[in-house]
Structure 1
Amino acid sequence: MVLRLTQVALLTFLCASLILFGIIVQSEHGWGSVTHFRLSHLFKVKAPFTPSPRATTVSTEKAGLAHYVWKQCGNPDAEMTSSAALKSSPFSHVLVNDKNKMLYCIVPKVACSNWRRVLLALSGKVNATNPTDINIHAVHHKYKSLLPLLRSFTRPESEHRLSNYYKFMFVRNPLERLLSAWRNKFQTNMSTSVSFRRYFVQVIVRQYRNDSQQLDKKSLDSVQIRFDEFLRFVVDQAEKGAVLNDHWERFHKLCHPCTVRYDFVGRYEHLEEDAMRVLKSVHADRMVRFPQRSAVYKHSRTTEVMREFYKDIPASLLKRVYRCYQEDFQLFNYSVPDFLKLENNKTMIST
């Protein structure tokens, strides 16, 4: 009898000690995972739910730029339904990779060619596992149909993909992207579609030059479009409410980030790091590597020459450019480059 009472007392003391230990740890550190783990094993308490790796990644990412964008749009925490998203946006720039359950919104001049190469390599629809083995021009022509657009699916199929696939997009400082578009499309030493260049050269020459006589194809190829002419053309079109060409259209017009909540919004300025985050999120980081800047690009990086090209642009035109892209600046948390700031910390394009 005495032995039994002793055993009961010992058990009571042990339980009390464990409870006291738990209280002490909780008071110093909060109910942390280590304490909960130990107690759950001793008392067979069900351990806390651990989210899947993808859920953890998405949650972390949405606390970053993607979450910031969603909040800037004035949206509540609850996501817009895929049905409502389809009603308000055509999603004509969203590529689908069914194999890896990815939706990528194409933003030209923000590494979109390389993202096409990556998605093609992952899809298994081309005879290449290394994205760099895929011809960068072929992704826009020969292989273009291998990555369908979201708009090509039926409504129920699109809703399913919007609700269940990993959605991502990449952005870039709007002023830098504009300069990149002009350099690529209008400087004769850059690679671009000849027909594309001829069309816009003729439009711009007619609109902004007195000697706007009819130009033949040979003459069009020799015409140099100045950067200020290009900027005037873009803002004039935007202020008229015209749909801009994809290469200089606003991000929010292309990808509708206030309609669909993206899992990740990456920056061109952190391209390598952010691309790896995307690939890890869909467990593809061991399958492919995002291509590095190719050696074929002989010219200086756009970031290195921005000051040179923007310094002679009239302040009045810069203000119009900023107003045109103001929503993108604010939505994606971009600031005006330092070289456009004055001594009093105001900017040349402040309104």
Structure 2
Amino acid sequence: MMTLISRQSGADDHTDLLYISDLKLPSYDIMSRRFRRRSMFIILVLSVQALYLILVRINSHIGGVSIRQNLGDFKSIQQLLDTTLDVQIDSRHEQPVARFHSDGTDQEKKGPAKQPNSHVYNVSREEIFRKRKDLVLDGCKEYTAGKECRMNAYGRTLVDEAHKTLFCEIFKVGSSNWLRTFLGFVVDVTPNFRERIGNYYKRLNMCNKPGERDAILKDYTTRFMFVRHPFSRLVSCFADKIVHDPDMDFIERHLKMIEGETGTRPANLTFSNFVDYIIQVSVNDEGIDKLDPHIKPMYRTCCPCEVKYDFIGHLETQKEDSDFILKQMGVNVTFPQSDPIATDSSGKGTIAHYFNQLNPEQISGLYKIYMWDFQLFGYDFPDYLTLQDIKT
């Protein structure tokens, strides 16, 4: 079956039918040069538009990083697309970065099942630590606390001379297992480890010989601290010390402080009036420093803007982070698994349960107090705490 081509014959508006098999003339006798030029131009425009849409799609995945740079790093557009689906890029550093879910877990995305010839980039633990450190350094350009905060951190910092290591301890961030680990380096671990740790280790604020503290900060090769999602930590403190295993000293102390701040003593220490107290006290840095160590913001406890830490561990990935740090210390031990948390204070349901007892103003007030914990340590405001979920 032969193919027909219709051709307009000009002013007569007559149509000739030509059989391709019968054509002996060059193609430009069939199609005018002007028509050919227009066709090529249209094809070129459509190709440019298609390429632009592809680049816009890629750019939306990689957060504004230079397209030219990334195309130079990969052999094909498909390879770049595969990579950007699996790795989030921090546009400030133009490198792969581990982000964090609302529950604080590292977003080391594995992506869909590998397809033939696909390129999947998995962020290493070393890279995660480097990104966390860079995030702190960037945040500290906007915030500095100064000498007083640094001295507070020295009082919380354990000095391990044998392994040239400094560990800043924050309550409600899995510090107990680290104290057990340090104690296990020198003695069999027994009950009352927190009381016994002082028999074998000193704190940085106790290093008072001339030049001793500066030499430690300069020469020690492993300086680290651990953090967790600020709201998870706050709920953990309240659930553990007031609800599930009441600490009467803690409760009585805070009831008295609430009475001193408000002039009224509550009948019970509810999560709502506990939050009100935190907000009322934390009007400035001096007030924040008066908070109980279990709820004091982490940035005011270990002062990462004044004490430069090599590693920022996350409770949400404690086992992986801790094993990596132990290797950096040069010790051949495995970090102990944490005991199951009965209160499940890291779970969305538990946090939502307590925060549903607050109004939007209280939640906003808490965020302002812990804002630098969110920003310096890469945590997001929980996406499951929406105004629709909050009782007003």
> Shorter-chain TM-score category?
0.5 to 0.7
Question: Matches of residues 277-316 of structure 1 in structure 2 within 5 Å?
Answer: 277-284=324-331, 286-287=332-333, 289-294=334-339, 297-303=341-347, 304-316=349-361
Which of 236, 242, 253 is the equivalent residue of 1:199? Answer: 253
Q: Is 1:159 aligned to 2:214, yes or no? A: yes
Offset, 1:148: 0.9
The count of residues paired between Structure 1 and Structure 2 equals: 258
Structure 1 CA distance for aligned equivalents of residues 194 and 170 of structure 2: 13
Offset, 1:86: 7.1
Structure 1 CA distance for aligned equivalents of residues 265 and 219 of structure 2: 55
CA contact (8 A) 1:186 1:224 kept: no
Structure 2 CA distance for aligned equivalents of residues 163 and 231 of structure 1: 39
Q: Is 1:233 aligned to 2:266, yes or no? A: no
Map Cα deviations across residues 183-211 of structure 1 (whole Å, 9 max, x no partner).
Answer: 22222x3164x433332233235655846
Larger Rg: 2
Aligned residue identity for 1:180: S
Structure 1 CA distance for aligned equivalents of residues 251 and 183 of structure 2: 27
* Secondary structure in 1 matching 2:324: helix
Aligned residue identity for 1:112: S
| Contiguous gaps of at least 5 residues in structure 2 | 1-72, 75-123
Map Cα deviations across residues 278-337 of structure 1 (whole Å, 9 max, x no partner).
Answer: 1111122x23x2222225x54334424111111221001111000111111111111111
Which of 139, 143, 153 is the equivalent residue of 2:193? Answer: 139
Offset, 1:60: 4.8
Q: Is 1:339 aligned to 2:367, yes or no? A: no
Structure 2 CA distance for aligned equivalents of residues 329 and 314 of structure 1: 20
Q: Is 1:273 aligned to 2:320, yes or no? A: yes
Structure 2 CA distance for aligned equivalents of residues 319 and 259 of structure 1: 27
* Secondary structure in 1 matching 2:339: coil
Q: Which residue of 2 aligns with 1:324?
A: 369
Q: Is 1:183 aligned to 2:236, yes or no? A: no
Structure 2 CA distance for aligned equivalents of residues 175 and 157 of structure 1: 37
Q: Which residue of 2 aligns with 1:72?
A: 139
- Name the Cα RMSD after superposition: 2.9
Structure 2 CA distance for aligned equivalents of residues 204 and 252 of structure 1: 24
Would the alpha carbon gap of residues 209 and 336 (structure 1) be closer, same or farther in structure 2, given more than 3 Å must change?
Answer: same
CA contact (8 A) 2:345 2:351 kept: no
Q: What's the TM-score once normalised by structure 1's chain length?
A: 0.66
Which of 146, 150, 158 is the equivalent residue of 1:89? Answer: 150
Q: Share of identical aligned residues, percent?
A: 24
Q: Which residue of 1 aligns with 2:83?
A: none
Structure 2 CA distance for aligned equivalents of residues 335 and 162 of structure 1: 31
> Higher RCO, 1 or 2 (CA under 8 Å, sep at least 6)?
1
* Secondary structure in 2 matching 1:167: strand
CA contact (8 A) 1:58 1:264 kept: no
| Contiguous gaps of at least 5 residues in structure 1 | 1-27, 30-56, 76-84, 213-222
Q: What's the TM-score once normalised by structure 2's chain length?
A: 0.59
CA contact (8 A) 2:235 2:351 kept: yes
* Secondary structure in 1 matching 2:364: helix
Structure 2 CA distance for aligned equivalents of residues 302 and 264 of structure 1: 22
* Secondary structure in 1 matching 2:211: helix
Offset, 1:70: 1.3
Q: Which residue of 1 aligns with 2:68?
A: none
Would the alpha carbon gap of residues 339 and 116 (structure 1) be closer, same or farther in structure 2, given more than 3 Å must change?
Answer: same
* Secondary structure in 1 matching 2:367: helix
Would the alpha carbon gap of residues 323 and 301 (structure 1) be closer, same or farther in structure 2, given more than 3 Å must change?
Answer: closer
